[in-house]
Structure 1
Amino acid sequence: MDLSYFHVAGDVPKGLEPETAVVIDVLRATTTIAWALHNGAEAVETFADLEQLKKKSHEWPQDSRLLVGERGGKRIEGFDLGNSPVDVLPSLVRGKRLFMSTTNGTRSLDVVRNAGTLYTMALPNRRAVAERLLCEMPNQLCIIGSGWEGTYSLEDSLAAGALAAFLLDKASNSVEIVNDELTAALALWDKWKEDREGCLRLASHGRRLIGLGDHDADFKCCSELDQIDVVPFQVEVGVLSAS
């Protein structure tokens, strides 16, 4: 399995349609997606464009849908929920479809929507996603971070390194790191793996969230490792379900 990592969606070569892709947005989209599906959401449908989200969501029964999203870290006006993994409680999301748009993560998903197989990952479901990849053992795996408005993010690289480290530990003879970005992510993981929350708080987006208010619960949730078994999987373009 050849592993490569792209810091942001804009780094993905034009025309590339990976055999398998894993999108990461630690703070907070893919963490929220993982917990929403773990807590019983029917699916999470993601949108880069807000108008498309509103149009599509209106085709869904009102009592079976939730609008979830943020811009600049703040909940979108008129939406049911922002982009916090601690808010997608079972009592709110069970059986419902979440229509989601975020500043960064849903844009990365849109860029690789035509991948042969597409997963999302965050630190809490790292092991589950890694074990699925080891079962499938694709020839090519592209890991895509989400960054912040097209720029590098520390926390996404931390999670990319966490995924690569697990795969190397379990199948070193079958896994090859093929770009420098992932080698650097592995080094980052080695430095911060025992203080993941500290890394998230140090990151520029972490400091941005701190400036917006009390996000202690988000930092704790987003930095937890291997806590849940859900593997978000694209079942149709833009639609993620638990698998």
Structure 2
Amino acid sequence: MSVQLTVVLNPSGDLDRIDTWIVVDILRATTTIVTFFEMGGKVLLPVEDVEEAYSLKSKLGGKWLLMGERKSLPPPGFDCGNSPIELLRYNLRDFHGAIMTTTNGTKALLRAAASSGIVFAGCSRNATAVVEAAIERGNKIGILCAGRFNRAMIDDTACAGMMVEIAKNKIQSLKLNDGAKIAIATWEYYDKNLMRAMTDAEHALSLKDLGLWSDVEYASRIDESHTIPRLTLWNNLPAIMV
């Protein structure tokens, strides 16, 4: 069976119809989402803007965690930021769920949902598991890099390249678009060393300036999780669950 693997290096512009999208925002939204479910989170509601997040929190009540960022820091009144390390402090089983808005990642997830019935949140932590899940669900697979401010970023591109390599090792007849070839070339440029690529990424350096380097180190870990968050509906709202 021939499989088409499409990588989109930033979320601007129209998206092709794809059987399954894997959305990658390694710094930090999809890493945080995977961690949320690893830590016992039940449901996560992604929203595009801060005001929508405030409104939803008001309707749903106090047992919902309000999380996310603007300019890499939590907006006023948020319970926590877009930080996987920060989530480790919470007993997420005490919450009904979480509401999340980020500058890039949540928007990319919602955009992917408009062009595919299946959307997974992927990062280095669940790279092999999420690629295998996508392969099982059709012969048109897409990896959508959230990027930053509608620009391609080294961190997401290298992570996507790692996923392309995983797919190449599992599928004999794999067709790659230009984005996929650029992604795997980036992965190989950094000697298949994700932390090396992350260290060179401007987004990672900006997080370091904010004292958030531990998030970068955490996000560079590979295949520590089999958790595969998927976009679905919860009470007619876009939701991520496992």
Q: Same fold (TM over 0.5)?
A: yes
Runs of 4+ in 1 over 6 A off after TM superposition: none
Aligned counterparts, 1:64-213, within 5 A? 64-89=63-88, 91-94=90-93, 96=95, 97-114=97-114, 115-136=116-137, 138-173=138-173, 175-177=174-176, 179-192=177-190, 194-213=192-211
Amino acid at match of 1:26: I
User: How far apart, CA to CA, are the structure 2 residues paired with 1:38 and 1:76?
Assistant: 24
Work out which of the residue numbers 194, 197, 215 in structure 2 matches 1:218: 215
Q: 1:90 to 1:82 in 2, by over 3 A?
A: closer
Q: 1:206 to 1:91 in 2, by over 3 A?
A: closer
Amino acid at match of 1:10: S
User: How far apart, CA to CA, are the structure 2 residues paired with 1:95 and 1:8?
Assistant: 35
Instruction: Give, in angstroms, the shift of residue 202 of structure 1.
Output: 1.0
User: How far apart, CA to CA, are the structure 2 residues paired with 1:28 and 1:221?
Assistant: 10
Corresponding residue SS for 1:4: strand
Corresponding residue SS for 2:136: helix
Segments of 5+ residues of structure 2 without an aligned counterpart are none
Amino acid at match of 2:179: E
User: How far apart, CA to CA, are the structure 2 residues paired with 1:50 and 1:17?
Assistant: 29
Q: 1:69 to 1:194 in 2, by over 3 A?
A: same
User: How far apart, CA to CA, are the structure 1 residues paired with 2:218 and 2:101?
Assistant: 20
Corresponding residue SS for 1:66: strand
| Residue matched to 1:10 | 12
8 Å contact kept, 1:69–1:102: yes
User: How far apart, CA to CA, are the structure 1 residues paired with 2:43 and 2:32?
Assistant: 12
Q: Would you say how many aligned residue pairs link Structure 1 and Structure 2?
A: 235
8 Å contact kept, 1:17–1:116: no
| Residue matched to 2:58 | 58
8 Å contact kept, 2:7–2:144: yes
| Residue matched to 1:232 | 229
Amino acid at match of 1:2: Q
8 Å contact kept, 2:135–2:141: no
User: How far apart, CA to CA, are the structure 2 residues paired with 1:171 and 1:22?
Assistant: 17
Instruction: Give, in angstroms, the shift of residue 46 of structure 1.
Output: 0.6
8 Å contact kept, 2:128–2:223: yes
8 Å contact kept, 2:22–2:134: no
Q: Can you list the C-alpha shifts for 1:145-186, whole angstroms capped at 9, x where unaligned?
A: 11111111111111111111101101223x221x21110111
8 Å contact kept, 2:124–2:220: yes
8 Å contact kept, 1:86–1:221: yes
Q: Can you list the C-alpha shifts for 1:114-166, whole angstroms capped at 9, x where unaligned?
A: 32101010001101101212322x12112111111111111111111111110
Q: 1:70 to 1:180 in 2, by over 3 A?
A: same
8 Å contact kept, 1:39–1:90: no
8 Å contact kept, 1:41–1:94: yes
Q: How large is the RMSD of aligned CA atoms in angstroms?
A: 1.6
User: How far apart, CA to CA, are the structure 2 residues paired with 1:158 and 1:24?
Assistant: 10
Instruction: Give, in angstroms, the shift of residue 193 of structure 1.
Output: 5.3
Q: Can you list the C-alpha shifts for 1:88-132, whole angstroms capped at 9, x where unaligned?
A: 127432253110001111111121223210101000110110121
Amino acid at match of 1:59: K
User: How far apart, CA to CA, are the structure 1 residues paired with 2:216 and 2:191?
Assistant: 15
8 Å contact kept, 2:162–2:192: no
Q: When the two structures are superposed, what TM-score results if normalisation uses the length of structure 1?
A: 0.91
